[in-house]
Amino acid sequence: MNITIRILLFLACVCCHNLPLAAQSGYRLWLDFKPLPTETAANYKQQLRALLFPVTSQTDSVARQELLTAVNGLLGECLKSVDTLQETGTLVIGTPATLPWLAGEAIAEHLRHVGDEGYGIHHTAIKGKPTTVILANTSSGILYGVYAFLGVLQRGEDISQLATTTQPKIALRLLNHWDNLDRTVERGYAGFSLWDWHRLPGYRDPRYTDYARANASIGINGTVLNNVNANALMLTAPYLEKAATLADIFRPYGIKVYLSARFSAPIELGSLADADPLNPEVQQWWNDKVAEIYRYIPDFGGFLVKANSEGQPGPQNYGRSHAEGANMLADALNPHGGVVMWRAFVYEDTEPEDRAKQAYNEFKPLDGQFRDNVIVQVKNGAIDFQPREPFHPLFGAMPGTPLMMEFQITQEYLGFATNLAYLGTLFSETLLADTYADGPHSTVARVIDGSLTGQKLTAMAGVANTGTAINWTGHPFAQANWFAYGKMAWDPDADAGTIAEDWLRRTFGNDASLIGTLLPMMMQSRETVVNYMTPLGLHHLMGWSHHYGPGPWIKDKQRADWTSVYYHQAGKDGIGFDRTASGSGALSQYAPEVQALFADPQTCPDEYLLWFHHLPWDFRMKSGETLWEALCGHYYGGVEEVADMQAVWEAQRGKVDSTVFQEVSDLLAIQHQEATLWRDACVLYFQQFSGMPIPDGLEQPEHPLEYYENLQFHFVPGI
Ligand code: BDP
């Protein structure tokens, strides 16, 4: 063993005896390795007597440190490091490079199925000795394997049965931070930006490392540091130097840095007359800028671009297409191996056709025109991260262009950081939706993982919900959304319930009754929010600009499609947006099988009814109720469900840490108030059109409609 390895081993063992006191704040996320019950720990100690883990890279060293610290926390004992396989109970961790002898073992066969980032975890006999093996082709794979193994221990699972071989289905698994350089976070509800630009590059906040650990532990391998509404300053030398420091900190955790690029930067920073992508001077400016970025960050991931959308500059300012704009940046990045993630969230700045149609109209004709290192980033739905949307019609419609998913983890439209809404169910609802692009089973997941169209470049982005809040995400349960996003970026077919249970166990421990009651609560929670905000396919009813609270009355703004009345179309004749052939025709952007599913209001699933149809108030639902009764049922039911959540949580008193218990309890009380506000405001507002009574047995809203319309909310976070 060489001297460096010995020193690292020594440091690792010293460190694992110096654990800081257990934080009760939620700061440690799902990586809080509290002691396991004595019997479980004793059992593991029998099977984990020694660690054989040669360290040859920074990433190995991180993995080893994580393992030792966690095992010490869970088992109360530091793993003994050895150089050779022991008789029983060795944990062997390595790659073909660090453990060449492994190549001769049957277990090495699994390496053929784990790619560059995957891993195998197996309990097997090696040279006749019962051994647990974590193997991978690279150090990144080892790091992911170690985190997965720690999850096994946290969940108290039997390690003698371990036989897992996995690799990510999506290559680029990114967070998008909508973080501004002044540290405000657009649509951020968990404090300020994690990036302390003023003190960077000099001060390396330890929190950057904890951020990287958390992401690596769920498979995230990239981060876009700055807001899509980008400030060109991000591309100047001082900020690149700061970003390079973050990249250095994140690198051992397998995380690459990317930046949002402002399309007009050549004008703002380079004093050029325009930013026309076909102007050679502009192209040269970007080539030089990209080369400069790579001098700071040699493994820079690439650019994210919001162009010609909501006032952002873009190629259309010069009569050029999105493809021409994206390709110019792609050509600059290509020699260095970088990619362009070009957002499809665009809509015309003139009076719109149905906004739901616009991204498709704009991008579909460009299919096949993008460079190989461009991937088009499409939001999960065609409007804008609503509590429920049908999947975006672009998925499956551009077989000649790599498409990636953009989810919003931050809860801009799902109750900010006061509402408990587990988004794993929202993510998987979209991912498992069938586009029928190539017959049945053409799910959105198969579009973005490349298996449907053969696209080589695959990626997923999640708009981050992290900030300086001590528990990172504001609401303790919002941590589950960060966690679920990472897991689904690794495997878009993953089961939302399995992920929620995993998170619960790793966060709150393995008490069966606690898991058994909190899991159904989490699984229902997003539907609950839909019920009291935008049931039956309604969408975009929230307060003006800040998007807090109900605002179905919002009208007469500078753009029709920034108002609520545009989306719900409520009048005496009924409610809902007709997107069938008799209306905007947006439904025709989907495959015929999808059209058939939604076209007939008699058979259209209730969840999407008013998304696709404008129906009279007395329309008969499948349940036999009138539409008005069903609408009221959802609004009132949603509030009752929040009360149920409160009762479920109250029953956990004494079973979870008291600080977190109280915080969730208080937040659920706020959620109940907010849900009631949504219910009363929306029911009263729509009642003026339906002219129908609130069904018998349901309590009347406390105030008249004008009261709700006149509520003002000042200094709402996230703008
Ligand atoms: C909207 C947000 C806005 C973002 C925009 C986007 O309200 O703050 O800039 O999405 O995705 O939902 O670009």
Query: What are the φ/ψ torsions at residue 474 (nearest 5 degrees)?
Result: 85, -75
Note whether residue 117 is domain-resident: yes
Which of 180, 229, 408, 410 best tests ligand 1's pocket when mutated (most atoms within 8 Å of CB)? 229
Maximum pairwise Cα distance, the chain: 82
**CB crowding 140-172: b at 16 or more within 10 Å, else e:** bbbbbbbbbbbbbbbbbeebeebeebbbbbbbb
**CA 265 to ligand 1 center in whole angstroms:** 20
What are 383's two structure tokens? 């409007």
Taking the CA atoms of residue 472, residue 474, residue 478 and residue 480 in that order, the dihedral angle to the nearest 10 degrees is 30
Cα–Cα dist 395/376, whole Å:
10
3-class SS at 118?
coil
Indicate whether 98 and 225 sit together in one domain. no
Same domain assignment for residues 256 and 156: no
Angle between helix 237-250 and helix 206-217 axes, rounded to 10 deg: 60
Token pair belonging to 374: 């461009």
| pLDDT for the residue numbered 31 | 98
* CA–CA dist 563, 554 (Å, integer): 5
Task: Judge whether 321 and 268 are in contact, CB under 8 Å.
Answer: no
Q: How many CA atoms lie within 13 A of 42 on its CB side?
A: 3
Ligand 1 centroid from CA 229, angstroms: 8
Q: Check whether residue 83 and residue 155 sit in a common domain.
A: yes
| Residue 341 near residue 461, CB atoms below 8 Å | yes
In contact, 337 and 319? CB cutoff 8 Å: no
CA 518 to chain centre: 21
* CA–CA dist 285, 277 (Å, integer): 10
Which pLDDT value is given to residue 17? 38
Close Cβ partners of 666 (under 8 Å, ≥ 6 residues apart): none
Rounded CA gap, 480 and 422, in Å?
7
Question: Domain for residue 509, yes or no?
Answer: no
Q: How far is the CA of 658 from the centre of ligand 1 (A)?
A: 36
Residue 375 CA to ligand 1 center (angstroms) comes to 19
Catalytic residue list contains 310: yes
The Å distance, Cα 292 to ligand 1 centre, comes to 29
Q: Which of 144, 166, 188 is the last residue of a domain?
A: 166
Q: Which of 412, 545, 548, 567 is the best mutation target for the ligand 1 pocket, counting ligand atoms within 8 Å of the beta carbon and taking the most?
A: 412
Cα of 550 from ligand 1 centre, angstroms: 18
- Cβ neighbors of 591 (< 8 A, separation 6 or more) are 396, 435, 436, 437, 442
The residue from 60, 276, 362, 384 that is catalytic is: 384
* 445 membership: H or E segment, kind and range: helix 444-448
Identify which of 177, 310, 559 to mutate to test ligand 1's pocket (most ligand atoms within 8 A of the CB): 310
Q: Which of 384, 406, 410, 413 to mutate to test the pocket of ligand 1 (most atoms within 8 A of CB)?
A: 384
Pair (159, 80) in one structural domain: yes
Q: Is 715 left (phi over 0), alpha (psi -120 to 50) or beta?
A: left
Q: Tell me the C-alpha to C-alpha distance, in Å, between residue 498 and each of 429, 501, 505, 515, 519.
A: 14, 5, 11, 12, 9
Looking up tokens 């309604």 gives 538
Of 479, 501, 523, which one is at a domain's C-terminal end? Answer: 501
Q: How far is CA 692 from the centre of its chain?
A: 41
* Spatial distance between the Cα atoms of 390 and 370, rounded to a whole number of angstroms: 26
Same structural domain, 277 and 357: yes
d(CA 498, CA 503): 9
pTM of the model: 0.96
- For atom 10 of ligand 1, the residue with the nearest CA is 384
The CB-side HSE value for 437 (13 A sphere, CA atoms) comes to 24
Q: Are residues 161 and 180 in the same domain?
A: no
**Contact residues of ligand 1, CB 6 A cut-off:** 186-187, 228-229, 306, 310, 345, 384-385, 412
384 among known catalytic residues: yes
> Do residue 159 and residue 307 come from a single domain?
no
What's the CATH number where 661 sits?
3.90.1330.10
CATH number assigned to the domain comprising residue 37: 3.30.379.10
Residues 566 and 673 occupy one common structural domain: yes
Which ligand 1 atom lies nearest to the CA of residue 385? 12
Query: Which residue of 185, 187, 227, 342 sits with most ligand 1 atoms within 8 Å of its CB, as the best mutation to test the pocket?
Result: 187
Q: What is the CA radius of gyration of the chain?
A: 26
Same domain, 356 and 482: yes
Q: Which atom of ligand 1 is nearest to the CA of 227?
A: 9
CB 628 within 8 A of CB 615: no
Q: Is residue 583 part of a domain?
A: no
Residue 606 domain-assigned (yes or no): no
Atom in ligand 1 nearest the alpha carbon of residue 379: 11
Single out the residue of 272, 360, 267, 264 nearest to residue 307, CA to CA.
264
Q: What are phi and psi of 188, to 5 degrees?
A: -100, 135
Reported as half-sphere exposure (CB side, CA atoms, 13 A), residue 392 has a value of 34
Q: Which residues pair with 124 in a beta bridge?
A: 131
343 SS3 class: strand
Nearest atom of ligand 1 to the alpha carbon of 413: 12
| Cα–Cα nearest to 396, from 457, 364, 428, 437 | 437
Measure the CA–CA gap between 15 and 13, rounded to whole angstroms: 5
Closest Cα partner for 464 from 420, 414, 408, 422?
A: 408
**What pLDDT was estimated at residue 22?**
39
Catalytic: 674? Answer: no
Residue 434 DSSP code: B
Taking the centre of ligand 1 as the mean of its atom positions, its distance from the CA of residue 694, in whole angstroms, is 35
User: In which residue ranges of the chain is pLDDT below 50?
Assistant: 1-23
In angstroms, the CA 132 to CA 182 distance is 48
Residue ranges making up the domain that contains 184: 172-501
Residue 683, both tokens: 């029911």
Residue 348: the pLDDT is 77
**Domain co-membership, 34 together with 79:** yes
The gap between the terminal CA atoms of the chain, to the nearest Å, is 55
Please state the atom number of ligand 1 nearest to the C-alpha of residue 229.
9
Tokens coding 605? 């699933």
Number of domains in the chain: 3
* 473 part of a folded domain: yes
Q: Residues 300, 262: one domain?
A: yes
In a domain, 515, yes or no: no
Burial of 49-72, coded b for 16+ CB within 10 Å and e otherwise, reads: ebbbbbbebebbbbbbbbbbbbbb
Q: For residue 465, give the 3-state DSSP assignment.
A: coil
Decide: 543 and 687 in contact? Cβ < 8 Å.
Answer: no
Q: What is the CATH number of the domain that holds 482?
A: 3.20.20.80
Cross-sheet strand order for the sheet of 80-81: 80-81, 50-52, 90-94, 129-135, 119-126, 163-166
Look up residue 80 and give its amino acid: K
**For the CA of 312, the nearest atom of ligand 1:** 13
Nearest ligand 1 atom to alpha carbon 384: 12
Distance CA 346, CA 363 (A): 9
- Residue identifier of the C-alpha nearest atom 1 of ligand 1: 384
User: What is the rounded CA–CA span in Å between residue 397 and residue 444?
Assistant: 11
- Ligand 1, atom 11, residue with closest C-alpha: 345
- Residue written as token pair 């980008």: 230
Q: Identify whether 604 is part of a domain.
A: no
Q: Which string of DSSP letters, residue by residue, matches 175-239? A: EE--B-TTS-BTT--SSS-S--TTTTTT---HHHHHHHHHHHHTT--EEE-S-SS--GGGGSHHH
Q: Are 250 and 208 in contact (CB under 8 A)?
A: yes
Residue 395 lies in a domain: yes
Amino acid identity of residue 83, one-letter, is D
Q: What are the backbone dihedrals phi and psi of residue 463, each rounded to the nearest 5 degrees, phi first? A: -75, 115
Same domain, 490 and 473: yes
Q: Helix, strand, coil: what percent of the chain each, to 5?
A: 45, 10, 45
Atom of ligand 1 nearest to the CA of 547: 7
635 Cα–ligand 1 center, Å: 26
| Of 129, 149, 166, the domain-final residue | 166
Alpha helices (runs of H) in 555-657, residue ranges in sequence order: 564-568, 592-599, 609-612, 627-650
CA-based nearest residue to 149, from 122, 109, 116 = 122
Ligand 1 mean position, distance from CA 540 (Å): 13
Residues facing residue 408 across a β-bridge: 463
CA of 302 to the centre of ligand 1 (A): 21
Q: How far out from the chain centre does Cα 117 lie?
A: 20
The answer to whether 64 touches 53, Cβ cutoff 8 Å, is yes
**What residue's CA is closest to ligand 1, atom 12?**
384
Q: How far is the CA of 710 from the centre of ligand 1 (A)?
A: 25
Catalytic residue among 412, 449, 674, 680: 412
- What distance in Å separates the CA atoms of residue 467 and residue 473, rounded to the nearest whole number? 6
**What's the half-sphere exposure (Cβ side, CA atoms, 13 Å) at 51?**
21
Query: Of 274, 310, 349, 666, which is the active-site residue?
Result: 310
| Contact criterion met (CB below 8 Å) for 87 and 58 | no
173 CA to middle of ligand 1, Å? 20
Q: Which of 176, 184, 305, 345 to mutate to test the pocket of ligand 1 (most atoms within 8 A of CB)?
A: 345
Specify the 3-state DSSP secondary structure of 51.
strand
Q: In ligand 1, which atom is closest to the CA atom of 186?
A: 8
